[in-house]
Chain A
Amino acid sequence: MAIDPNKHPMPTQAPEERAHNFREVALGYTLEVAREEASRCLNCKNQPCVKGCPVGIHIPQFIQALRKGEIEEAYQIISLTSSLPAICGRVCPQETQCEQQCTLGIRYEPVGIGRLERFVADWHNEHSTEAPQKPESNGHRVAIVGSGPSGLTCAGDLAKKGYQVTVFEALHTAGGVLVYGIPEFRLPKAIVAREVETLKALGVDIETNVIIGKTLTVDELFEQGYEAVFIGSGAGLPNFMGIPGESLKGVYSANEYLTRSNLMKAYRDDADTPIMKGGSVAVVGGGNVAMDAARTALRLGAEHVYIVYRRSMEELPARREEVEHAEEEGIDFRLLCNPVEVLGWNDPENPRDPKNGFVKAMRCIRMQLGEPDASGRRRPVEIPGSEFTLDVDTVVIAIGTSPNPLIKSTTEGLEVNRRGGIVINEDGLTSRKNVYAGGDAVTGAATVISAMGAGKTAAAAIDKALCGEQN
């Protein structure tokens, strides 16, 4: 049988429909389609895809099980190395990881590994009746700071080995960036909640509304009897551009905008949480967060949404699939443009005009690409005299985030690099004894899967440190 050169397309909600609701865009494969896609896998011996996966999922094995219709077996194979398959199957940038390495991809489209992972995880979640067993305690206590992907993974791995694990979360809901950052239409919150419930069933204690560095310090955790601490506090500090007008009303960091919509549920009609809805919205930046913010704005009722990005489509760091989805939904990409000033309403004749102090427009300048910079991408340079104005009511700045500084400033002897990332060794150990770290708190904003990998590495190292080699 000849190999189908193309991946089986992912069924999605129609663009015109989904642009007005917050339900998940991608609907997932059926069993039949999943098995057909699985049959595209060449099951090659050298398994290049596995090398492309930050946690080394046994990809050909799970795909072969799926091909035979052994879905639960496929799930168990994924579970050997990955803790959050339903999440990673949705948000991993497979096109630059496993799928980029796929042998089939040399001539054709690679196997849709992410879509298959998602199918297997969803099937398991729907059909499995097996309740997680709480393992016997080994008497050791570990504290995890932050309940994002690195913290949840570290907590899960340690709990399975019998550690008494407490996860401290600063916000009111566990999940970190998976709940405050990634919107419902890309990652339904019920999936995250399910992962958290599984951890609780394993005996993990989750304490929300506890801000480590304020409510309790890392040192106090040791005083309370925790023997090791893992810091997975993420990168929640938004970067701004430093241009005039950024403090006008209607200018948000993507972090605030998405937190209001996702975590504080402003996307729902019955929510109290204020957020600017409707009008014209400009989102500055070209990453996944920028796409999330732009598509959220559209769903909140914006009439026109721009993505303003200083490089070209080729350099856009967002996942290709997200960019395509955004384009289909009608997001207006203004590439090779950079904001120079946010302009506000100001009527001196009528100082009581309620519009005063709010955003009116954004001045931008056109850019062209020059020589490659340190990152290897061609450096954008301004084209003199090319300024123009976009009339907008809301501006969302999505140009990246930095590690949260709170723990560094309250933990003596914890070394960070010049970007604020916590310095660790290959085991995830920081400059402080028995204090480990991983995820965005170390790397700055990166991917869910790499944070998960860091959580696993640290869990193994903590186990070795507390229980020695016998495990």
Chain B
Amino acid sequence: MNKILVRRELNPTVTLLTVEAPLIARKAEPGQFVIVRPDAEGERIPLTIADFDREAGTVTIIFQIVGATTEKLNHLMEGGCVQDIAGPLGRATHTEGLKKVAVVGGGVGCAIAYPVAKKLFEQGAEVHAVAGFRTKDLVILEDEFAAHSTLFCRMSDDGSWGEKGLVTDALKQLIEAGNQYDEVITIGPLIMMKFVCAITKQYGIKTVASMNPIMIDGTGTAA
């Protein structure tokens, strides 16, 4: 049982929870995930670690309500508990030695992109963050990205937030303006990541895309 210290609805279908998990917080790195079970009756689901605080011993997860289990998770309140949380699992995103990076997030994928941007920024890299959402109401982590990037491009499909357009439009502009990136890191819908890769391939920039697999035990045994 892990206590929920913070619960914040980031948009109508995306919620943030910060939970007490000192052992996990001690080891967590951006790009890793935890296995969460909201109550004793349910499914185990993988959720990416959106943030962590080693000193406070907390881990933050951000999830979109897409099914019964995330719906249950969304009903847990501050002061309450998640039944189980295990991790950190998966491989950490490689950040070592990177000096200038574009971090491109789309939709709820920004929750995964953020800790990567934060780590790069804290280790002194030049971070160009590009975040895209369908519309203003769906925007998450705006302040967090702004505080952990040297340049922050806001994009929305309908122009209600930042520039009207796709993240790939912004990325292309940045590259064409002469920015030389050591790496582009992209996290979001498959189709978005595909187009990001198509652009970076043209310019020969190393690109890392994040896939969120389906798994149950998270110990490297699931299909």
**With A and B bound together, what is the CA distance between A208 and B2 in angstroms?**
12
CB–CB B221/A404 < 8 A: yes
Most buried by B among A213, A215, A406: A215
Per-position 1/0 for B35-79, Cβ under 8 A of A: 001000111100000000000000000000001110010000000
CB neighbours (8 Å) of A264 from chain B are 42-44, 216
Smallest CB gap from A271: residue in B:
B41
| Contact A214-B27, Cβ < 8 Å, known A252-B223, A264-B216, A272-B42 | yes
Per-position 1/0 for A200-239, Cβ under 8 A of B: 0000000011110111100000000000000000001110
**Residue A284 lies at the interface, judged by CB distance under 8 Å to chain B:** no
CB–CB B41/A265 < 8 A: yes
CB–CB B44/A172 < 8 A: yes
Q: Among the listed B27, B41, B219, B222, which residue makes an inter-chain contact with A256, where contact means beta carbons less than 8 Å apart?
A: B222
Which residues in chain A, 233-263, are within 8 Å of chain B measured between CB atoms? 236-238, 240, 251-253, 255-256, 259-260
**Residue A135 lies at the interface, judged by CB distance under 8 Å to chain B:** no
**With A and B bound together, what is the CA distance between A406 and B219 in angstroms?**
7
Per-position 1/0 for A77-106, Cβ under 8 A of B: 000000000000000000000000000000
Smallest CB gap from B83: residue in A:
A172
CB neighbours (8 Å) of B72 from chain A are 272
CB distance from B73 to the nearest CB of A (A): 11
Tally the A-B contacts, defined by beta carbons under 8 Å.
86
CB–CB B84/A172 < 8 A: yes
Most buried by B among A171, A172, A214, A253: A214
**Residue B14 lies at the interface, judged by CB distance under 8 Å to chain A:** no
**With A and B bound together, what is the CA distance between A236 and B83 in angstroms?**
23
Smallest CB gap from A266: residue in B:
B43
CB neighbours (8 Å) of B67 from chain A are 272, 274
**With A and B bound together, what is the CA distance between A269 and B108 in angstroms?**
31
CB–CB B43/A214 < 8 A: no
**With A and B bound together, what is the CA distance between A259 and B218 in angstroms?**
12
**Residue B87 lies at the interface, judged by CB distance under 8 Å to chain A:** yes
**Residue A54 lies at the interface, judged by CB distance under 8 Å to chain B:** no
CB–CB B69/A272 < 8 A: yes
CB–CB B220/A215 < 8 A: no
**Residue B198 lies at the interface, judged by CB distance under 8 Å to chain A:** no
Per-position 1/0 for B86-122, Cβ under 8 A of A: 1111000000000000000000000000000000000
**With A and B bound together, what is the CA distance between A274 and B70 in angstroms?**
13
CB neighbours (8 Å) of B85 from chain A are 209
Smallest CB gap from B37: residue in A:
A172
Q: Among the listed A213, A240, A255, A270, which residue makes an inter-chain contact with B221, where contact means beta carbons less than 8 Å apart?
A: A255
CB–CB A214/B87 < 8 A: yes
CB–CB A256/B89 < 8 A: no
| Contact A256-B220, Cβ < 8 Å, known A214-B88, A215-B88, A272-B72 | no
**With A and B bound together, what is the CA distance between A251 and B214 in angstroms?**
13
**Residue A405 lies at the interface, judged by CB distance under 8 Å to chain B:** yes
CB neighbours (8 Å) of A404 from chain B are 219-221
CB distance from B90 to the nearest CB of A (A): 9
Which residues in chain B, 137-165, are within 8 Å of chain A measured between CB atoms? none
Most buried by B among A180, A209, A240: A209
**With A and B bound together, what is the CA distance between A259 and B85 in angstroms?**
17
**With A and B bound together, what is the CA distance between A238 and B219 in angstroms?**
12
CB neighbours (8 Å) of A406 from chain B are 219-220
CB neighbours (8 Å) of A265 from chain B are 41
Most buried by B among A170, A213, A236, A238: A170
Count contacts on B: residues with CB < 8 A to the other chain.
27
CB distance from A238 to the nearest CB of B (A): 7
CB distance from B157 to the nearest CB of A (A): 20
Smallest CB gap from B2: residue in A:
A209
Most buried by A among B37, B69, B223: B223
**Residue B130 lies at the interface, judged by CB distance under 8 Å to chain A:** no
**With A and B bound together, what is the CA distance between A224 and B68 in angstroms?**
39
Q: Among the listed A209, A216, A405, which residue makes an inter-chain contact with B220, where contact means beta carbons less than 8 Å apart?
A: A405
CB–CB B217/A259 < 8 A: yes
CB–CB A209/B84 < 8 A: yes
Q: Among the listed B24, B27, B86, B219, which residue makes an inter-chain contact with A172, where contact means beta carbons less than 8 Å apart?
A: B86
**Residue A273 lies at the interface, judged by CB distance under 8 Å to chain B:** yes
| Contact A216-B69, Cβ < 8 Å, known A211-B87, A270-B41 | no
Per-position 1/0 for A348-386, Cβ under 8 A of B: 000000000000000000000000000000000000000
**With A and B bound together, what is the CA distance between A401 and B87 in angstroms?**
23
CB–CB A253/B222 < 8 A: yes
CB–CB A253/B219 < 8 A: no
CB neighbours (8 Å) of B219 from chain A are 170, 211, 213-214, 236, 404, 406
CB–CB B222/A255 < 8 A: yes
CB distance from B10 to the nearest CB of A (A): 23
Smallest CB gap from A169: residue in B:
B86
Smallest CB gap from B69: residue in A:
A272
**Residue B190 lies at the interface, judged by CB distance under 8 Å to chain A:** no
**Residue B23 lies at the interface, judged by CB distance under 8 Å to chain A:** yes
CB–CB B87/A237 < 8 A: no
CB neighbours (8 Å) of B42 from chain A are 264, 271-273
**With A and B bound together, what is the CA distance between A260 and B222 in angstroms?**
11
Smallest CB gap from A240: residue in B:
B223
CB distance from A237 to the nearest CB of B (A): 5
Question: Can you list 29 A-B contacts with CB-CB less than 8 angstroms, sorted by A residue number?
Answer: A170-B217, A170-B219, A171-B217, A172-B37, A172-B86, A209-B85, A211-B86, A211-B218, A214-B87, A214-B89, A214-B219, A215-B88, A216-B23, A236-B219, A236-B221, A238-B222, A251-B223, A253-B222, A256-B223, A264-B43, A264-B216, A271-B41, A271-B42, A272-B42, A272-B67, A272-B72, A273-B42, A404-B219, A405-B220
Question: Closest 5 A-B residue pairs measured CB to CB?
Answer: A236-B221, A272-B68, A209-B86, A273-B43, A172-B84
